[in-house]
Amino acid sequence: MFRRWWFVRLLSAPPDEPGRRLPERERRELVLREWEVLRERLARIAAERVTAAGELFRAAELRLPAEASASGAESPADSAARTAYLWALEAYEAAGRLLDQADDPHTDLPDLAAAVVLAEQAVERLAAAHTLYAGARPAPLAVRCFYNPLHGPAVPAAAPDRPGKKQRQRPTRGAREAAADRRPACRSCRRAILAGETPDVLPALLPAKAAGRRTGPVLVPYYTIPQQWSPWSATACGAYDPDAPALVLRGAHHRHPPH
């Protein structure tokens, strides 16, 4: 749904090409219209994920024993399962809280993406809790694509060359390979970076005043929003922050750039 915004080329057309550059009012309307379309689509996706997570929680509720056994100590398996299960419940509740705010005019695309991320992580952690309670080791949690956390899981960076003889030198990586390894990326985004192209990033709306321009709002990659305005810009919409559910539940995710 974010396969490069259809109007970007139109907005960035050189001013010396007659008939292509839009008046500022039309530019603003075009940006806001596309943002609203993307926001409606993402709100529907978030609603689907949160609903699916709720159904799984009802079907796979984990009934843990009391925190302390007769001996006064909880087994390591029960303790680990309890921690994972409580985190999953918090993540599910936080995802629902973000979804409830979908109609708020300040809710941006990264907020709705965070609802998707937290709902899906809640399901992952629920499965981990059941596995831990059964005394087994759960699979590692998926690492999400930084450029767009709605994409598939990140693929491993290029494996380093195996150590060989002392005189053997490691092959020099090019700038594109280094850029592709800088942040976790899904296969599609990594392929785009290696090809020198822009990956299919999750956009966010930067108001005109915050952008330092008089020509109206702009859509920018979500991770370019300053962290004091967005808690999601450095954490892949909460995917890399285990405190994200608590952040949402205490309302600390409400940070907005000046309008």
Q: What is the CA radius of gyration of the chain?
A: 22
Q: Among residues 53, 74, 73, 62, which one has the least CA distance to residue 131?
A: 62
Higher per-residue confidence, 47 vs 156: 47
Q: What integer pLDDT is reported at residue 215 of this predicted model?
A: 62
Higher pLDDT, 15 or 177: 177
What are 20's two structure tokens? 């292509």
Tell me: pLDDT of 21 over 90. Answer: no
Which tens digit of pLDDT belongs to each residue from 149-192? 999 899 987 644 344 445 445 555 688 888 888 899 999 999 99
Question: Which residues contact residue 46 at a Cβ distance below 8 angstroms, ignoring those fewer than 6 apart?
Answer: 95, 98, 99, 102, 112, 113, 115, 116, 119
pLDDT score of 98: 98
Question: Which residues on neighbouring strands pair with residue 5, listed in sequence order?
Answer: none
Stretch 229-256: mean pLDDT: 94
**Looking at residue 185, what DSSP letter applies?**
B
What CA–CA distances, in Å, run from 226 to 48, 204, 222, 231, 245? Answer: 29, 11, 9, 9, 20
Highest mean pLDDT of the ranges 12-16, 132-136, 208-212, 217-221: 132-136
User: What's the chain's length in residues?
Assistant: 259
Pairwise CA distance, residues 140 & 199, whole Å: 26
- Of 67, 119, 128, 113, the closest CA to residue 93 belongs to 119
What pLDDT score was predicted for residue 17?
52
Contacts of 47 (CB under 8 A, 6+ apart): 99, 102
Dist. CA 116–CA 178, nearest whole Å? 29
Return contacts of 61-70, CB within 8 angstroms, 24+ apart.
Answer: 62/126, 62/129, 62/130, 62/133, 64/133
Strand partners, 205: 219
Q: Lowest mean pLDDT of 9-13, 38-42, 218-222, name the range.
A: 9-13
Is the pLDDT assigned to residue 257 strictly greater than 80? no
Determine contact, residues 107/39, Cβ cutoff 8 Å: yes
Between CA 113 and CA 218 the distance in angstroms is: 19
Q: Read off the pLDDT of residues 72-85 as tens digits, 9 standing for 90 and up.
A: 577 888 899 999 99
pLDDT in the model for residue 63: 86
Average pLDDT over residues 92-114: 96
Mean pLDDT, rounded, for 64-75: 66
State how far the Cα of 241 lies from the Cα of 230, in Å rounded to an integer. 13
Residue 174's pLDDT is 86
203 closest CA partner among 221, 189, 216: 221
CA distance 153 to 187: 8
Strand pairing category for 203-206 and 218-221: antiparallel
Whether residue 15 is predicted with pLDDT greater than 70 in this model: the reply is no
For residue 194, pLDDT beyond 80: yes
